[in-house]
Amino acid sequence: MLRYLIEPVKMRSVSGVMINSRDEHVTIVKSKWGLMRLFLIGTILVTVWSFIGTADLFTWVFELMLGIAGVLFLACIQKQFRFSNFFLSVVFIHYVILALGAHYTYAEMPLFDWIQQQFDLQRNHFDRVGHFMQGVTPALLVVEWLSRRIELTNMKIISTTAVCAALAFSAFYEILEWLWVIAFYPGDKEGPEWLGHQGDIWDAQGDMFMALCGALLAVSLLSSFHRRSIKALEGREASSEEA
C-alpha cells in the first residue's frame, strides 16, 4: 500500500485509451473480491431462505453444515489462494441444491415429486442430483489446487487424483450420515429409513456411483471450461503483480 501511495503515476495505453497505474491498481484490487462478494451474498440469501420454514431442523443442519463450512473456507483463503470464477459458479450451484434439500428434505423436493408422479418412478431422485454435484465440486477443487498450488502439469495424474478424491469424499459423507443417524435417531425407525433413503437398500452405493459420474464429468466435459477460467484468473493475477 505504501508503495502505491509514493510511487509515480505511470500512464499507458489500452485499446487507444490512456489509463494511469493507480486507477488500474484500484480496479484490480476491487476485482479480486468482485465475484467472491456476490458469491457470499448469494449464499447468505439462499441460507436464510432455506432456514425459514424448514421441514426438519436436524436435517437442515446436517445437509448444510458441510456446505457452510466450504463457503467459509473459500472466503478465508481468498487472499492467499483465489479459485477461478468457473469453480465458484459451480460451488454456488451446488450450494443451492444443498439448500433446497435442507429446506424440503431430499425425499420431498416438489419438482422431483412431480417428476416422480409424471414418470411413475419408485422414489424422488433429487438426492441423486445432490450426490452428482458431490462428485463434480470436489473434483474441480482438486484439479485447481494441484494444477495451480502444487503446480502439477500431468493432466492424467491430476484427473485420476481428482476422481479418487471425489469418490473418497463421497464415501466419507456416507459414513458421516450413518454416524449422524446413530447420534440423533438411536432406535428410531426414521433413522434406518434415512440411511436406506426412501426404502432403497442400495442408496449408499447409488449415491457414490452418482458422485463418481459427477467427478468423471468434471475432469472430461467440463475441463475445457475450467482451464479457460483458470487461464483468465492467472492472467488477472499476472496483471496485478505488474501493477
**Average pLDDT for the chain:** 85
Rounded to an integer, the average pLDDT of 204-220 is: 97
Q: Tell me how far apart the alpha carbons of residues 33 and 235 are, in angstroms, rounded to a whole number.
A: 16
Model confidence at 58, pLDDT cuts 50, 70, 90, reads: confident
- Dihedral of CA atoms 36, 41, 42, 43 in degrees, nearest 10, equals 90
User: Looking at residue 7, what is its pLDDT?
Assistant: 38
Of 53-62, 75-84, 212-221, 224-233, the one with minimum mean pLDDT is 53-62
Of 41-55, 104-118, 137-151, 182-196, the one with minimum mean pLDDT is 182-196
Residue 178 has pLDDT above 90, yes or no: no
Residue 127 has pLDDT above 60, yes or no: yes
Residue 82 has pLDDT above 60, yes or no: yes
Q: Tell me how far apart the alpha carbons of residues 4 and 56 are, in angstroms, rounded to a whole number.
A: 52
Looking at residue 41, its amino acid is: I
